[in-house]
Structure 1
Amino acid sequence: KSFTWHGFDDNRSIDVGGDRVHFGTAGAAVSVWDHETRKHRPSDLRDVYDVARLVDTLEHVHFHIRTLVARDMVEARDLDLNTAYAAAMGTSKPMGTSFFQPEHVVEAVDMFDQMLGGKPGSFAERPFCVANNTFVVPPLRYAEDAVRSMVAQVHTGMPINLLSAGQAGATSPAALAGSLAQALAECLSALTCVNLLKPGHPCVMGLWPFV
């Protein structure tokens, strides 16, 4: 019911679970407000890194999940690996990102092993990156690539944010209670799947119903 979400600096690790509350970032914005031009522009990899650097200095922000999409990364593999690298280099706090394909998960974990000294399995011993995995296409259907990535995340020891993002009245019931019940059912199904693969693997129930 709880796990340690390590920081790259282990002194900044946090314990997830119980009645503990932590604040952090998240999102996938595709544009950023440029303070020099005073206009919005497409976000790029430097912005991903800069936001991580900012979070690293903020006392009351405890973890960093990438907030922006690096739109200068055209291919999915380039986006996944460079985002993971930029976030990890920008902060020593617990961090997270998402992955399009299971192969990218494996490559990212290999990279994290190198960051932790080069010994294979180092990341699994002290996982400082959580995977944001929107595993479902509401209502009640698995997203194949995301589920394949989820399996890779379990096998490589990466904790998982299990995210269900149905929209009330569209992909989930219009009544908010029904939308919440559907999201819970979807997240419970993913939690069951993860525990069938590896009992006790660290997960966060990420019910994310939209209106």
Structure 2
Amino acid sequence: MSGRLCFLTKEDCKEIHDTSVDILGECGVKIESEYALDKLSDFGCIVNRKNSIVKFPKYVIDDCLRYAPRSIKLYGRASKYDIKIESGRTYTSTASGYGIIDRNKKIARDGILNDVAEGTLVAENLDNIHSVIPFLTGVHDVPSEIASPIILGETFKNTNKTVEFYLTGGSNISSTLKDMDNVIKLSKIVAGSTFELRKKPFLMFLISSISPLTYTEDQSRILFRTVEEGLPLVIMPAILSGMTGPVTIAGTLVQSNAEFLAGLVMANSMKKGAPVMYGHSNTILDMHTGIYSGGAVEMGLISACIAQMGEYYDIPTNSYCPKSDSHISDQQVGYEKAIQWILGSLSGVSYLSGAGCVTSESLVSLEQLVIDNEVIGMVNRVNDGINITEETLAGDLIKYIGPGGNYMKTNHTTFWLNSEHFKPKISQKDSYTQWLNNEEKDIVDVAAINVENILEIEQSPVNNDVIKDIDNFQNELLKNINNI
């Protein structure tokens, strides 16, 4: 079913593409990196050194699209977690927040490194979570100067699933490049060698343009370093419609597409055919409050259209959603995220993030992560569609059972039950009387028990030698920062 939902015709996609190419050729993109300007100039782009504006000829864009890989493979450190990101299949990942809902006090607080470990371990043990983003972008018990590699290390210590990582950038380009060096060094330690990391990448980087039509120095350098190391790359515009982009969805799609294509050319100027995914984190500005609206239904609608643009280019897509604007795990989180998940998945987005977040991804919650895992299972069942065969149509069986019969004890029911019916793990399915007798009155209570069970019973699946190597790396970073 993935890819069945269409909002754009092929003619619409071509219009968006042509308008984007026209903008890139006449208006251009501001790229605040001398290194990037040099690479793009050599690659055939028109560079104005005075204002850092780069214009992209159509033939350069067309050439890069021609070389773009149609699928990207990420390798879990256990082979069962390998994923091939391509059209026709949607994978899902966790979210990352700036703070966390304390699972005991039920209020928001700053995160600590142990929260990263717990969030990763819970995600490792949820069947419908295919990949992991570090659960927090920063923690208050680790110096900010080394937070990125320390947090990523804690993630690597608790999962064998693939990992997506967003390096926000340091206080200056020097600290950003140092962060990137440490992250790459850590990844090579986990992989065993540079060769093994490139042969079986388990990590992909996400970089974001700054809307409208700008790439900063730090994001440009992260982009080039990612390509240089042979790692998959997600180029993810994050437009606020009505503020940093046009208020119309069509206009947002055009600008987002232009920003993506500029990033694609940058990646190809380093290496033709670099593994690049078409990403998006675009949504609307709520004009009543002036606040970023991650839970807007328009974000899901944009996801659906990005999926179609990816199909038009034959490039895998990545949406940094679903999200919700609610601040707790409530009905609003349920309907906002479910709508976005359905829209993205049925339209064919290759990779969706967002499991575990509330407050437009500013906060994360372990209970919400478990609830989202259940929702994703339902969405996956929708994606599976309906299996029409002679056996599933069951014509002969219906005639055999006849009027007034019962199908409960038939071999047909036994054989097909597990594949045809979704089996919820935490959803309420008891009668009202049974529910009244239960101590857990709502889905959050049930999810909280699941979280506690995982953290009490499960241990890290990662090889002890790898954990020891990561510990040594983290301790060295902490030692060096304490000596400054």
Per the TM superposition, whether the score is higher than 0.5 is: yes
Secondary structure of the structure 2 residue equivalent to 1:161: strand
| 1:30 counterpart residue number | 98
Q: 1:58 aligns with which of 122, 126, 136?
A: 126
Shift in Å at residue 185 of structure 1?
Answer: 0.9
How far apart are the structure 2 equivalents of 1:207 and 1:38?
31
Q: 2:184 aligns with which of 105, 109, 115?
A: 109
Query: Any unmatched runs of 5+ in structure 2?
Result: 1-69, 170-175, 285-484
How far apart are the structure 1 equivalents of 2:154 and 2:277?
23
Q: 1:97 aligns with which of 147, 165, 179?
A: 165
Contact 2:264–2:276 at 8 Å: present in 1 too? yes
| 2:79 counterpart residue number | 10
Higher Cα Rg, which structure: 2
- Residues 155 and 103 (structure 1), Cα distance of their counterparts in 2 relative to 1, 3 Å cut: farther
For residues 85-127 of structure 1, give each alpha carbon's deviation from its aligned partner in whole angstroms, at most 9, with x where no partner exists: 111112111112122223322322222222223x333211111
Secondary structure of the structure 1 residue equivalent to 2:129: coil
How far apart are the structure 1 equivalents of 2:76 and 2:129?
13
Which deviates the most, 14-23 or 119-128? Answer: 119-128
- Residues 45 and 70 (structure 1), Cα distance of their counterparts in 2 relative to 1, 3 Å cut: farther
For residues 18-167 of structure 1, the aligned pairs below 5 Å read 18-27=87-96, 29-72=97-140, 73-76=142-145, 78-99=146-167, 100=169, 101-117=176-192, 119-134=193-208, 136-167=209-240
| 2:45 counterpart residue number | none
| 2:432 counterpart residue number | none
Contact 2:123–2:132 at 8 Å: present in 1 too? yes
Higher relative contact order (CA 8 A, sep 6+): 2
RMSD: 1.5
Secondary structure of the structure 1 residue equivalent to 2:92: coil
Shift in Å at residue 32 of structure 1?
Answer: 0.8
How far apart are the structure 1 equivalents of 2:182 and 2:231?
12
For residues 144-185 of structure 1, give each alpha carbon's deviation from its aligned partner in whole angstroms, at most 9, with x where no partner exists: 111111111111122111111010000000111101211111
How far apart are the structure 2 equivalents of 1:207 and 1:32?
24
Q: Find out whether 1:183 has 2:256 as its counterpart.
A: yes
Contact 1:106–1:152 at 8 Å: present in 2 too? no
Query: Any unmatched runs of 5+ in structure 1?
Result: none
Shift in Å at residue 5 of structure 1?
Answer: 1.0
Contact 1:43–1:69 at 8 Å: present in 2 too? no
How far apart are the structure 2 equivalents of 1:204 and 1:210?
19
Contact 2:111–2:138 at 8 Å: present in 1 too? yes
Equivalent residue pairs, number = 207
How far apart are the structure 1 equivalents of 2:274 and 2:112?
33
1:11 partner letter = K
How far apart are the structure 2 equivalents of 1:209 and 1:111?
31
For residues 38-66 of structure 1, give each alpha carbon's deviation from its aligned partner in whole angstroms, at most 9, with x where no partner exists: 22111122111211111100101111112
Secondary structure of the structure 2 residue equivalent to 1:113: helix
Identity rate, percent: 22
Secondary structure of the structure 1 residue equivalent to 2:157: helix
Q: TM-score normalised to the size of structure 2?
A: 0.41
How far apart are the structure 2 equivalents of 1:143 and 1:97?
18
How far apart are the structure 1 equivalents of 2:199 and 2:181?
15
Q: Which has the higher strand share?
A: 1
Q: Find out whether 1:206 has 2:279 as its counterpart.
A: yes
2:179 partner letter = H
Secondary structure of the structure 2 residue equivalent to 1:23: strand
How far apart are the structure 1 equivalents of 2:237 and 2:280?
5
2:113 partner letter = L
Secondary structure of the structure 2 residue equivalent to 1:24: strand
- Residues 62 and 23 (structure 1), Cα distance of their counterparts in 2 relative to 1, 3 Å cut: same
Contact 1:12–1:93 at 8 Å: present in 2 too? yes
Secondary structure of the structure 2 residue equivalent to 1:121: helix
After TM superposition, the runs of 4+ consecutive aligned structure 1 residues lying more than 4 A away are: none
How far apart are the structure 2 equivalents of 1:70 and 1:105?
16
Q: TM-score normalised to the size of structure 1?
A: 0.92
1:122 partner letter = E
How far apart are the structure 2 equivalents of 1:9 and 1:51?
19
How far apart are the structure 2 equivalents of 1:165 and 1:126?
29
Q: Find out whether 1:195 has 2:254 as its counterpart.
A: no
Secondary structure of the structure 2 residue equivalent to 1:164: coil
